[in-house]
Amino acid sequence: MAKISISELKQNYPIVEVAKKLGIQTFGYEGNTLCAHCFNHEDKNPSLVFMPNVNRWECKACGKKGDVINLVEEVMKIDFKAAVEWLCPGYFSSYQEQNQNHKVENINPETYLQSRLIRPETAQHFGLRVNKDCVIIPIPTGEKYRFFYQTPKYKHKAKSKVCLFKTAENTGKTGYLCAGEFDSILAWQETELPMWSGTGGEQTFNKEWLSDFSSFEKIYIIYDTDQKGREGALNAANELGVERCLKVVLPEGIKDITEYFQAGYTKENFIKLFEQAKPFRTSIVDLLNSSEKEAGLKHFSGFSKIDGLINGFRAGNCYCVSGLEKCGKTSFCLNMLNQLLLNNVPVGYINTELTAQEFATALSAVHYRKPKEFIEIHKNLRTECMTKFAPLLQYSGIDGDELRDKQGTLSFPRIVEKIKEFVKWKTQVIFIDNLTTFNTMATAQQRGWEILASSLSMITSLAKKHNLTIFPVVHTKPNTVMSEAPNGIKAILKDRIPEKIFDETISIIRKPTIADVYGGGGVLSQLSGTILIWRPYQKFNAPYIQRMSMIILESFRHSSSGGEITMNFDGASGIFTEIKYTTQTSDETTNFGYEKNQIL
């Protein structure tokens, strides 16, 4: 792909076409504008205006406005890089490949400053000069050289000692410390902020410089993201006083300030990094304060009894959805997925079982509360549902190669890559359906359950690291297999009191527990809760018996006792419905809502 600038990219994607792709319904032209209801607030009268002639948008009510990239950022709740990738897939990977080739083949003293985006007027301002084998950097104590055909790459001129390099004096209360002169010069060029750096490399900070920082109440440290950079930043913070220092975290895959601006990020993006900067101190008090800030991020299933028992699924936690094969695990996940999307929660769904068409049909059936057969006939509803949820739903399934290795086999490392990709899109909740797939991929080195256990362990770690809520789906081990209805159950059915089955057949068919989940007991202790789906009579012929289901909440860390919720499951539409379960019955109907004269 030919490399274009960010400014060219903004003009190449018409604002109205992008708005429609984002699911924004537009209205008739009024002069040179197109109107829509604003996505940022309740907007009865269309206040959002698109201006195709300048390729920008603005809400006349709330004041939000911007270009085509800003629109994607705001609607999809993602960052700049993810918005650019959404508009132009492969933009950054293409850039990085070209940049690597450029570094290897074309970098020399004449092209170096240009490769680091330092403009001629900036180079002149700081007195940067090019020699036959180096770039010369004037510093307060003399000169420093950046060599190209010898090592080390950086060297001070004789009698030019290591010192503090300042792009500008700073009389304010906030300081900025970069890793090196070229990073600080570029950051100053792009932002006009007074960036400073030491000339001895990021692992050198001299105590004699402390007086220059004495007036600052807050100091932002922007060092490289590699190990040396992290160690150097911590060393500088300790010298400066860790309580007033904040580390600026660059996006994943970006090594330094130069790569940041090379990737197309803007001054506004850079300023936002300061708002997201993190303290260096990691005491238990800071960790507690951090976790308390994140404790408010909860996600609700839409089932009132479940949500009432556990008070929401927490970010940073992993909850296993489990049950026997064909008990409704996928349908249960789709019920929760539908609710999350209706609540405008960005969700990722990784599917190792259904085709994209089957998934879309099943989700649409839940959304419209119609049988799947009805959706198959009325395909426009499926298209309408997927279009509606497209801005919030990241999906990856078995249809393509995204989840497969070079041999075409489903690969768990590819799933991990996909989760990390979802993170970049600001996804908050992820479903993985079905991890038991990897239980069948035993090798000479690992048994199936060991592969599954390690997969679960990795997923729980990812949930914690990226503050995600993850729902992996895993089968339970079969227990008592019924080849025919035992006499006790026949008697209950004959008496037409099916609601008694849950109470009176536990000794015949044992309810599942967390110990029945595939993957080994050890890793299950890392889970924050297990949702067990129990449908002991799913293979019976009578629909009113097939529908009898129970959701068992077990080992929830933030619920004192867990719980059991009786459900009705409609297999035709995939909808679970909470019902009031008691042992009392009337003369005409049961509490499950079925006529008593229904028989097997």
Report the alpha-carbon distance of residue 41 to residue 37 in Å, rounded: 9
Give pLDDT tens digits for 132-144. Answer: 889 999 999 999 9
SS3 32: coil
pLDDT band at 480 (very low <50, low <70, confident <90, very high): very low
Which residue blocks in 216-355 are alpha helix, DSSP H?
227-240, 257-262, 267-275, 284-294, 304-310, 329-342
Residue 310 corresponds to which tokens in the numbers above?
Answer: 């556990």
Q: Report the 10 Å Cβ neighbour count for 133.
A: 13
List the single range of 32-46, 179-193, 435-449 with lowest mean pLDDT. Answer: 435-449
Return the pLDDT at 434: 82
pLDDT over 50 at 237, yes or no = yes
Dihedral (Cα; 305, 310, 311, 312), 10-degree rounding: -100
Q: Average pLDDT, stretch 395-421?
A: 83
**pLDDT tens-digit map of 557-588:** 776 656 889 999 999 999 999 986 443 333 33
- Flag whether pLDDT at 95 surpasses 60: no
Mean pLDDT computed over every residue of the chain = 81
Cis-peptide into 152, omega within 30 deg = yes
pLDDT score recorded for residue 102: 44
Is the pLDDT higher at 92 or at 342? Answer: 342
- pLDDT confidence tier of residue 509, bands split at 50, 70 and 90: low
CA-to-CA distance for 512 and 433, rounded, in angstroms?
A: 19
What is the pLDDT at residue 289? 57
Range of weakest confidence among 28-32, 113-117, 413-417: 28-32
Band of residue 177 on the pLDDT scale cut at 50, 70, 90: very high
Contact 276, 249 (CB under 8 A): yes
pLDDT of residue 39: 86
Q: What is the pLDDT of residues 37-63, one digit of tens each?
A: 888 888 877 888 888 888 889 888 888
Q: What is the pTM of this model?
A: 0.56
| Mean of pLDDT values over 330-354 | 93
134 SS3 class: strand
CA distance 69 to 392: 17
For the stretch 264-282, pLDDT in tens is 788 888 998 998 898 886 5
Q: Using H for helix, E for strand and C for coil, what is the string for 531-568? A: EEEECCCCCCCCHHHHCEEEEEEECCCCCCCCEEEEEE
What's the pLDDT band for 151 if we cut at 50, 70, 90?
confident
Q: Is 517 left (phi over 0), alpha (psi -120 to 50) or beta?
A: beta
Q: What is the pLDDT of residue 92?
A: 67
* pLDDT number for residue 89: 81
